[in-house]
Amino acid sequence: MGKASTRMTLNDEERKMLQTLLVERFGLRFHREITTGPIFVLVRGTKTLQMKEAKEDDLRTRGFHVSMSGGYEEFGTHISIASLVQEVSSTLERPVVDQTGLKRFYNFTVEMPPSDHDEALATTNLMQQLGLKLKTAKGQVETIRIENASKPTMN
């Protein structure tokens, strides 16, 4: 039997709580800069969308999951496109802009070949199997510049 793992991304509230913790405990001071740089744009592909609309009463665990056995199976339950974009952006370490027009929550299951150990290739293959496509482009990139960080304060 394969090993299962779950990847979770932070929502806006959790990100704000973490930011507050870093400011209070580490004296973190930073500023944000907007520059033009490389991004990805997520659009609908030419294939049929391979995600099923999630039902509101779907009580399964929400999030992204990976099950390993031979190849691996990646599945998402009750996933918004915004969450998918955030996950892809984190994996590819580049901003991703959603231009799919999809506004609902979705479930999907995709079988990936064992050769997809390159995360960029695996992510591109995942998007294609879902009926989506990543395009390269130039766009606004937010960068966080750290001005100061100190040793953490005591609890």
Predicted local confidence at residue 7, as pLDDT: 47
Q: Is 89 inside a domain boundary?
A: yes
Predicted local confidence at residue 29, as pLDDT: 93
Give the start-end residues of each E strand in 13-131.
29-44, 52-53, 63-69, 71-80, 96-98, 105-112
Domain count, the chain: 1
Q: Is 130 inside a domain boundary?
A: yes
Q: Is 74 inside a domain boundary?
A: yes
Range from 2-11, 75-84, 120-129 carrying the lowest mean pLDDT: 2-11
Give the domain extent around 58: 35-141
The alpha carbon torsion through 18, 92, 77, 69 (nearest 10 deg) reads -120
Range from 6-20, 102-116, 132-146 carrying the lowest mean pLDDT: 6-20
pLDDT at 66 over 70: no
Predicted local confidence at residue 121, as pLDDT: 82
Predicted local confidence at residue 60, as pLDDT: 61
Q: Is 90 inside a domain boundary?
A: yes
Q: Is 128 inside a domain boundary?
A: yes
**Average pLDDT in the chain:** 83
Q: Is 42 inside a domain boundary?
A: yes
Q: Is 135 inside a domain boundary?
A: yes
Predicted local confidence at residue 134, as pLDDT: 95
Q: Is 29 inside a domain boundary?
A: no
Angle of helix 119-130 relative to helix 81-92, nearest 10 degrees, comes to: 160
What's the average model confidence in pLDDT over 68-80? Answer: 71
